Amino acid sequence: MLAGFLPFFVIVYAVSKAVYKFKIYRVEVHHKALPENFENLKIVHISDLHLGSFGNRYRILNRAITLINDLDADLILFTGDLVNNFAWELRGWDSVLEKLSAKKGKYAILGNHDYGDYSEWDNPEDKVRNFEAIKGFYKAIDFKLLLNESITITKNDQKLAILGVENWGLPPFRQDGDLEKALEKVKDIPFKILLSHDPSHWDEEVLGQTDIALTLSGHTHGMQAGVKIMGKQWSPIKYKYKRWAGLYQEKEQFLYVTRGLGWIGFPGRLGMRPEITFIELKRNAD
């Protein structure tokens, strides 16, 4: 009887509680190229909201907004998948997401679900209008959407660059990201942060081929299921993605993959809580 009921109760907990039990992951990134004036820069990284999965349960996500704002971040960086597919999923969410607060700005990119590819459309124009509405939503919540472009933050004559590319993933995912275009105006800035939705992009075009210090990604959700034992984590998603959750480092380049805030498909999370990532940048003198 126990063997029969235990899986049932685990699934019930995953669907009713764990899927909305937001967790703050705290990370420090040490890098010698970080300008002195940006020491201790505080970044909140979020991704994969999939607002259509929340329906109109605004109060639930409001809890995450409060947790984020209490971190008093300098930057909020969102790495895509705002919706599941449709612009109508955004109804009412502007009044929730506009509350997000960051002292130096809020920036975002698109994920694979934001292009409207996961549906049949009556005509191409409808798909274009859907896409434009999703992109336009970012203005309503005071985020700058980066479309293969960069911005520069200056503090006392020292600079830091934030780059954002459109979705770039291994087939069958689309590859609209143009990293070279995003780098054009900031090649001479020593410390760069790249927003790229799919972590596969890091190995394919970033690692060892650029001097981008930190890349932030989402997309995998940690498969919304996994286990963590004695400091080690495992999820079936590791058989599809080499980098699927947490911080990765290769020499002087870092990648952080968030487990995401929302959900899609299975309406729950097992051992893979929805994530708010709090990253502090530190100078490394070595």
Domain ranges of the chain: 2-283
The position carrying tokens 């890098």 is 31
| Domain 2-283: CATH class, spelled out | alpha beta
| pLDDT tops 90 at residue 8 | no
CA distance 61 to 263: 12
- Nearest in space to 145 (alpha carbons), one of 154, 136, 153: 136
Q: What is the mean pLDDT of the chain?
A: 94
pLDDT at position 231, please?
A: 79
Question: Residue 179's CB: how many other CB atoms inside 10 A?
Answer: 19
CA distance 71 to 20: 19
CA distance 180 to 215: 15
pLDDT at position 16, please?
A: 64
Question: Residue 159's CB: how many other CB atoms inside 10 A?
Answer: 17
CA distance 170 to 204: 9
- The first and second tokens of residue 229, run together, are 């034992």
Pick the more confident residue, 7 or 193.
Answer: 193
CB 164 within 8 A of CB 193: no
- Nearest in space to 254 (alpha carbons), one of 224, 281, 231: 281
Model confidence band, residue 207 (pLDDT cutoffs 50, 70, 90): very high
For 223-275, what is each residue's pLDDT tens digit?
A: 999 998 887 889 999 999 999 999 999 999 999 999 999 999 989 899 999 99
The helix/strand/coil state of 221 is helix
Over its C-alpha atoms, the chain yields an Rg (Å, rounded) of: 19
| pLDDT tops 80 at residue 160 | yes
CA distance 240 to 224: 14
CA distance 270 to 209: 36
pLDDT at position 19, please?
A: 84
Helix (H) or strand (E) holding 77: strand 75-78
pLDDT at position 89, please?
A: 98
In percent, the amount of the chain with pLDDT more than 70 equals 94
150 forms bridges with which residues in the sheet? 163
pLDDT at position 162, please?
A: 98
Q: How far is CA 275 from CA 64, 221, 222, 236, 259, in A?
A: 9, 9, 10, 18, 6
> Are β-strands 42-46 and 275-283 bridged in parallel, bridged antiparallel, or unpaired?
antiparallel
> Are β-strands 106-108 and 144-145 bridged in parallel, bridged antiparallel, or unpaired?
parallel
The helix/strand/coil state of 266 is coil
For 61-86, what is each residue's pLDDT tens digit?
A: 999 999 999 999 999 999 999 999 99
The helix/strand/coil state of 136 is helix
CB 22 within 8 A of CB 276: yes
231 Cβ contact partners less than 8 Å away, ≥ 6 residues apart: none
pLDDT at position 12, please?
A: 63
Question: What type of residue sits at position 285?
Answer: A
Q: What is the pTM of this model?
A: 0.95
| pLDDT tops 90 at residue 10 | no
| pLDDT tops 90 at residue 109 | yes
